[in-house]
Structure 1
């Protein structure tokens, strides 16, 4: 396993290199790219040249790329066009909020998907299965921004049960426990919005996989030996049925990140998603470039994690 992980990490290096080239060229090829953003009509030619030199845009594109790459490898992604802060400092401020929302939503989505998928498979062709199927199709067809607005209107505006947006209630001095509880209330709606988007489709994968596993010979053998249904389900069926779900989650990691971006925008969650929209609006290209490359890195990393989980969930899988 250790050799396999090292080999995969080494394979990821050229992939990340090509990804960084593609993202760098994409940013510079966009209409209104970095060169045009710094063309300030209020400056004379000398002032514009000085500004371009400050951000390194007065050099050939390939030199700009290799300088950016060398600095990025040590955590220096340059300076923001809009705030003149270090991009690494901006990302460090926003990343914890996104990791919190993403992590909680992923755990909730996986838990619900496995629970509902197994329940639907065990109760196949019953009213429970039909109800869960209809709800799943409804969830698959519902866009993220529509679901978020619905939840906001129902639970925040109409019922006044949960906060509308943000991470804390402003203007209120809480003790540590109440501050934690207030933050927890603010986290509920964004978590539901993000997790429910994927529970619908993941539960269908889990249902199909569980039904297939329940038909295997080793399940019939366990049943013939008198194993209880609960033991059969959790000791034999679940570990094998969850493997296809791991593949789906790894493949859809980019979609999860996209859903998090929209969710943060809806609920004014101060994370990477809100930062991405703001940077896009003000054409803050150093921030956008750093975020795109980091997103690609996370996608590659999660695919590696999925491969490792295969071996953990199914001991029959061996990596040579």
Structure 2
């Protein structure tokens, strides 16, 4: 096992390195970019402003040089553009002619000829391998990317953990019961519902929930006063609101307010996951139930519950583990579509905003961390295979 883990760790490092090269290259050759909007306003942009933008995104450097600066912070130092030297990757507010209390001005990028009368700049990015992802350039300009990620990650973890637990609690019993009672009325009903749930896109359920529990809730309450009006977005309200006749004046930030904001996004994620996972587990259980050792266990007179839970389920969970462990990256990456629809302030919404506004530092950091979590999730899945099935050995 030790030799296997060492070999896998080396392979994981190689995979992360190759993925980082390709994603950095794709972001640099993709259409659009920071100067897309400025190219339509060339007459309004001064040469100094254009040089500042090009220095900010290091557009005059070859992409391998930009990649090494992004990865390990090397080569360091200023960028030379048209004979002038500029500092890049420096946060807002680092060049101050005077303190803010004295009314000093702030310059994000300055010529080196101006440096004698300014304070020394903050050191450039050390590289993502050293935990320095640079600064946000658009979404929250000047704020370190890592601080921005950590401020959003807990909202995503809250959403993903709750939906994961609910999905497992619902999907596993449904899949097992449907497989054991194959071709029953319940099996046909469950299979149809699961097929519909896995076929519909995520945004369909999100918009449907908002329509039923927010937009049309007032009309439904005329017939059923107990029908709730749920908040359509965000993590907590900004002012008090009423839900139904049985719950009025919910205060912003209260536990019940946070719970009500969780209901719809968690419901969407749970429906989609249960529909897919239960069908997958049902198929795996059906395959295992046809094996000879299951028939042998029944022939020995074992109780059906023991045959299902001890002999069949354990082997049926082996392929199911692959799906579950791949949810680990989602604890960081979040659900982009669901978080965007419900304006949930998590990682998925942040990544969508970063792509939409060409904040490449955030987008690259997001993909890089997600890649690392994905390769570690696959390693964890291989280890769990050996725990579930003693016949699996690694050497």
Q: How far off its partner does 1:314 sit?
A: 1.1
Q: Which runs of 5+ in 1 are unaligned?
A: none
Q: How far off its partner does 1:18 sit?
A: 0.8
Structure 1 residue runs of 4 or more that deviate by more than 6 Å after TM superposition: 37-40, 173-176, 251-259
CA distance in 1, matches of 2:3, 2:169: 31
| Correspondent of 1:129 among 172, 187, 192 | 187
TM-score normalised by length of structure 2? 0.73
Match of 1:150? Answer: 208
With over 3 angstroms needed to count, the CA separation of the structure-2 counterparts of 1:100 and 1:212, relative to structure 1, is same
Q: How far off its partner does 1:223 sit?
A: 2.2
CA distance in 1, matches of 2:300, 2:339: 51
Match of 1:59? Answer: 61
CA distance in 2, matches of 1:290, 1:162: 34
**Where do residues 283-294 of structure 1 align in structure 2 (5 Å cutoff)?**
283-294=358-369
For the residue of structure 1 that corresponds to 2:335, the secondary structure is helix
Q: How far off its partner does 1:222 sit?
A: 2.5
With over 3 angstroms needed to count, the CA separation of the structure-2 counterparts of 1:266 and 1:257, relative to structure 1, is farther
Q: How far off its partner does 1:155 sit?
A: 3.1
Match of 1:17? Answer: 17
Deviations 1:218-274 (A, max 9, x none): 222332333222222222211111112123445688899988100001111101111
CA distance in 1, matches of 2:38, 2:3: 48
Higher relative contact order (CA 8 A, sep 6+): 1
* Residue 236, structure 1, aligned to residue 311, structure 2: yes
Deviates more, 1:249-258 or 1:136-145: 249-258
Match of 1:208? Answer: 283
Deviations 1:268-312 (A, max 9, x none): 110111112211222111111111222222222221221111111
With over 3 angstroms needed to count, the CA separation of the structure-2 counterparts of 1:217 and 1:305, relative to structure 1, is same
CA distance in 2, matches of 1:104, 1:4: 34
User: Is residue 118–residue 207 contact of structure 1 (8 Å, CA) maintained in 2?
Assistant: yes
Number of equivalences: 319
User: Is residue 240–residue 313 contact of structure 1 (8 Å, CA) maintained in 2?
Assistant: yes
Cα RMSD for the two superposed structures = 2.7
CA distance in 2, matches of 1:60, 1:300: 29
Where is the helix percentage greater, Structure 1 or Structure 2? 1
With over 3 angstroms needed to count, the CA separation of the structure-2 counterparts of 1:229 and 1:135, relative to structure 1, is same
With over 3 angstroms needed to count, the CA separation of the structure-2 counterparts of 1:22 and 1:79, relative to structure 1, is same
User: Is residue 194–residue 259 contact of structure 1 (8 Å, CA) maintained in 2?
Assistant: no
CA distance in 2, matches of 1:265, 1:143: 14
Q: How far off its partner does 1:195 sit?
A: 2.3
With over 3 angstroms needed to count, the CA separation of the structure-2 counterparts of 1:282 and 1:54, relative to structure 1, is closer
User: Is residue 35–residue 57 contact of structure 1 (8 Å, CA) maintained in 2?
Assistant: no
Asked which structure has the greater CA Rg, the reply is 2
Match of 2:136? Answer: 80
CA distance in 2, matches of 1:292, 1:181: 34
Q: How far off its partner does 1:54 sit?
A: 4.2
| Correspondent of 2:237 among 163, 169, 177 | 169
CA distance in 2, matches of 1:255, 1:180: 25
User: Is residue 251–residue 257 contact of structure 2 (8 Å, CA) maintained in 1?
Assistant: no
With over 3 angstroms needed to count, the CA separation of the structure-2 counterparts of 1:202 and 1:256, relative to structure 1, is farther
**Where do residues 177-216 of structure 1 align in structure 2 (5 Å cutoff)?**
179-216=254-291
| Correspondent of 2:161 among 103, 109, 121 | 103
Q: How far off its partner does 1:43 sit?
A: 4.2
* Residue 307, structure 1, aligned to residue 382, structure 2: yes
